[in-house]
Structure formats: C-alpha cells, structure tokens
Amino acid sequence: MNKRLLLVLLLALTGLQAFCQSYDVLDIIASDRQKNSGCEGPYRFDAPALTPAPKGFKPFYISHYGRHGSRYAWTSDAYTVVRDVLQAAYRAGALTERGERLHNEFRDFMQTPLINTGDLVELGSEQHAEIARRMVASFPDVFAKGGKVSARSSTSQRAIVSMGAFCVSLQKNAPRLDIELNSLHTNMPVVNATSAPAPLRVRRSGRVLIPESPAAFTARLVDYDGILDRLFTDRGFLEERGGRSRFVSMLFSVMSGYHNYCEEDFLEDIFTPEEQLALWEVDNYVAYVDHAGNRYQQIPLLLDIVAGADEAIAGGQYKAHFRFGHDTVFNGLCPLLNINGSGFQPQKADEVKYWFQNYDTPMAANLQFVLYRSKRDARVLFKLLRNGWEVSLPQLTPVSGPYYDWNDFRAWVQQLDSEHPVAPERPAR
C-alpha cells in the first residue's frame, strides 16, 4: 500500500472516530445519571475482566495516582449562593410554586453539608477500601510476599482520609506489607503541583489550544431564561448576588454531587434533560480549560512515576507507590498521557466533548501502572488502568493488547520532558 493511500485511510478513520464519538457522547450522558454528574459523580465499579498478560509475564510493581473519594461540595459557595438567592427571593415573594418548594427543601438539606464543606463522606472511604481490595485480588503476585509500599497524599483532609482508608484495606488484604504514609507539604510538587508551596512551585512551558472562552461557550449553550422562569417570578435581584450564571452553575454543582451523601431526590426536576446536557457540556468544557489546559504541569508527577518504576525494575524494595490528590491533577494527567487519544487538542469548543469527558474523573478516580516481567524475556511490560479499565496509549506501539514496552514509555516521557522544560520565572513588577 503506498504512503499516500495509507494517509488517506488514516485520515478517514480519524474522521469516522470523531463522528462516532459525536454521535455517542451526549447519548451516554442522557442515559447515565452518574456520568451526567461529571467530576462530582461517585465512583463506578463497572470495569470488565482484565486481559491476561503475555505468556510468562507476571506483575511485580504498581504505580498509582488516585483522586480523593466522595465528599461534600468542595466550596461553601455551592450551598450559600443557592441559599442566599432563594432566601432573598422568598422574602421578596419572587418565587414560583416550584421555587418555594426548592427554597424549603434546600434550607432543610444544606445545614450538615455546609458545616462539612470539602470533607470526605463515608462513601468516599468505602470507595478507596474497595479499590485497594480489588487491586490485591487482581495482582496477588505484587503483594503476596510482603515488602514495602509508599503512600503519599496532598495536604487536603479529604485526600489524607482517602489514603488512610485505602491503606487500611490494603493492609487487611495483604497483611505482610510494610506501609509508609505521609502527607508532607514537600509532596505537593508531585501530587498537586499547582498548589505546591511557593518555594517549591515551578511552571512547565507549553500551551494548550483553548478554542473559546468558557463564558462565551456557556452563553451559547445554556438557556438561563427557561431555567430561571421555572423558579422565579422576578429575577432582577439576581445580578446583585453574583448573576444568573453563578446561581445556575452552583445549583447544578450541588445537584451533580449531592447523591454522594444524600439518598433523597429533591433536585431531579429542576432542569429538563436538554438543560442537563447543556450544563454538563459547559461543566466538561470548563474542566478541559482549567485542568486539561494545565496538563504540562503534571510532568513532575509523570517523572516521579517513571523514577519509582525504574527503581523497582532495578531491584528496589518498594512493591508499589500510591499517590492521593485531586481531579485537577487527574484531568491534566490523562490528556498528558494521551489516554485513548485524549491528548488531541480540538479546534472548536463544541468538539471538546468528543475527546475529553469529565465523567472519567469521578470521585476516587485512579490510574494504575502495572509492571510485568518474565524470566525468559529481558523486556519489562506494563499496562495502564483507568478506574479499572485497560486503556490505550496511541503514541506507543503495543506489544500485545493493552501491554506496552516500558522502555518505549520511558523514552516518550523523556522526550515530553525535554519539549516542555521549566519555564523561566516572570520578573517581579
């Protein structure tokens, strides 16, 4: 086959992939409430059975990055903005019947969540305990003989408690392990680089194409009048309290996340299915701009993953390295790795949803690099799991199925590192 024909076929396949993605993504969101919740949705234990390793290869080391588990809303604004607007409208007699009902229900609902803003909930601990249990069950060769493992978290309470729940379960299911835990501020350049203490914070060079401002994209997609007319008879005072977009975005944020800690359904009829799709797409785009747009800042984490694995390959004492952090990191790391082609940078804001989906970063989202070796083969192989699912790395040539050569990956990371060096500090003004 000549090269020109091959190129045409590849371009055709790429176009077909984009068409299939555009045809499916919103259908998936419309049919799956948890995915409609995006990054606020609870973890889904829905991964299929894993592909067996090539003959003779056995797992010997795991490197992991995990988001904290289910929590209350990360900011008190999610509760107070909605409360204050509804309260002011209620006192002014500016609520519809549905708006009054929302006011009363939200007033009763929000007391405990507001006090516990940002804290891990019981479900969050359960998620990490189960992830650890499944890891030991899936890769017993890594843990059966004991040995050291390292667990590090960001300094956030919800990340620390998530790490604790994971490690308690890990110890229960692999009692011979010697587990080291810490949540030092000096971990932050690796586990949450953009929140590292100022003396340790560095910035990598490189820009990601942002095709449209989030504000302009939101204005195109969201029918504010339809949403607000359902709740208010007079909306004039909204502008004095952050505006309509802030109220709607905070209300959607609460609706997306409250099932992590509340069994009642009292927000389900606030938005129509079409409005929920539009709000998800906006939320997805904002995550792309804010998190995936900062993907190169996760290079230190990638280098840490490679360094730990190389140490294990050389006979080091650690069987695994675990890191616990946040969605901001996870949403940048996945496109940085080009998982399933997600490193592609769309030219139009409307196309972002075909390449980046924030529902792949639910509460307790995790990546697991599982390394394999064989007595009869000098190569070290690995596969990458995202939330238990085997993923592809299109920039690499697989050895077999989801299994790749570690040397190829290391070389790719080294090239990435050289292409995006530490950016020079901006001069003080």
Q: Which two tokens stand for residue 313?
A: 């390959």
Looking at the fold, whether 204 and 153 belong to one and the same domain comes out as yes
In a domain, 297, yes or no: yes
In a domain, 367, yes or no: yes
Looking at the fold, whether 255 and 355 belong to one and the same domain comes out as no
In a domain, 2, yes or no: no
In a domain, 13, yes or no: no
In a domain, 223, yes or no: no
Q: Which two tokens stand for residue 405?
A: 């050569």
Looking at the fold, whether 239 and 107 belong to one and the same domain comes out as yes
In a domain, 221, yes or no: no
Looking at the fold, whether 256 and 369 belong to one and the same domain comes out as no
Is residue 404 within 8 Å of 412, Cβ to Cβ?
no
Orientation angle between helical segments 299-313 and 327-337, nearest 10 degrees: 70
The residue with tokens 């050289």 is: 418
In a domain, 48, yes or no: no
Q: What is the DSSP letter of 43?
A: P
Looking at the fold, whether 138 and 175 belong to one and the same domain comes out as yes
Phi–psi pair at 415, nearest 5 degrees? -65, -45
Per-residue pLDDT tens digits of the chain, which is 429 residues long: 444 444 334 443 444 444 444 448 999 999 998 999 999 999 999 999 999 999 999 999 999 999 999 999 999 999 999 999 999 999 999 999 999 999 999 999 999 999 999 999 999 999 999 999 999 999 999 999 999 999 999 999 999 999 999 999 999 999 999 999 999 999 999 999 989 998 888 889 999 999 999 999 999 999 999 999 999 999 877 877 778 999 999 999 999 999 999 988 888 889 999 999 999 999 999 999 999 999 999 999 999 999 999 999 999 999 999 999 999 999 999 999 999 999 999 999 999 999 999 999 999 999 999 999 999 999 999 999 999 999 999 999 999 999 999 999 999 999 999 999 998 766 545
Q: What are residue 151's DSSP bridge partners? A: 181, 322
Looking at the fold, whether 364 and 322 belong to one and the same domain comes out as yes
Q: Read off the pTM.
A: 0.93
Looking at the fold, whether 104 and 128 belong to one and the same domain comes out as no
Show the domain range for 329.
58-72+119-209+289-419
Is residue 19 within 8 Å of 339, Cβ to Cβ?
no
In a domain, 1, yes or no: no
Phi–psi pair at 361, nearest 5 degrees? -120, 60
Looking at the fold, whether 144 and 87 belong to one and the same domain comes out as no
Pairing of strands 318-325, 366-374: unpaired
Rounded Cα gap, residues 43 and 131, in angstroms? 10
Looking at the fold, whether 258 and 179 belong to one and the same domain comes out as no
Looking at the fold, whether 397 and 308 belong to one and the same domain comes out as yes
Looking at the fold, whether 380 and 397 belong to one and the same domain comes out as yes
Rounded Cα gap, residues 323 and 244, in angstroms? 38
Number of alpha helices (DSSP H) and beta strands (DSSP E) in the chain: 17, 8
Domain count, the chain: 2
DSSP for 228-249 reads HHTTBS--GGGGGGTHHHHHHH
